[in-house]
């Protein structure tokens, strides 16, 4: 079964060099999940705009 992520969900991204990054999901696009820092997600929501996010491979994202 494929993992599904919801907008606003806190996740851990497994980054290069074994780093674990705590991020917020902006959008699940299938093989890629758009993520950003929690502060950016909250600021964008307050300002009524889409958060500035990066695409990350879904296989490197874990539920927090």
Torsion of CA 5, 2, 64, 15, to 10 degrees: -100
Domains of the chain by residue range: 10-63
Can you tell me the distance from the alpha carbon of 60 to that of 39, in angstroms, rounded to the nearest whole number? 21
pLDDT at 19: 95
pLDDT at 64: 85
Q: In a structure prediction context, what are the per-residue pLDDT tens digits for the chain, which is 64 residues long?
A: 478 999 999 999 999 999 999 999 999 999 999 999 999 999 999 999 999 999 999 999 999 8
38-44 CB contacts, 8 Å cutoff, 24+ apart: 38/10, 41/8
């Amino acid at each position: 079964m494929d993992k599904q992520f919801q907008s606003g969900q806190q996740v851990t991204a497994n980054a290069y060099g074994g780093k674990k990054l705590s991020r917020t999901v902006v959008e699940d696009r299938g093989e890629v999940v758009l993520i950003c820092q929690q502060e950016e997600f909250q600021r964008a929501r307050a300002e009524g705009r889409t958060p500035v996010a990066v695409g990350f491979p879904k296989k490197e994202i874990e539920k927090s």
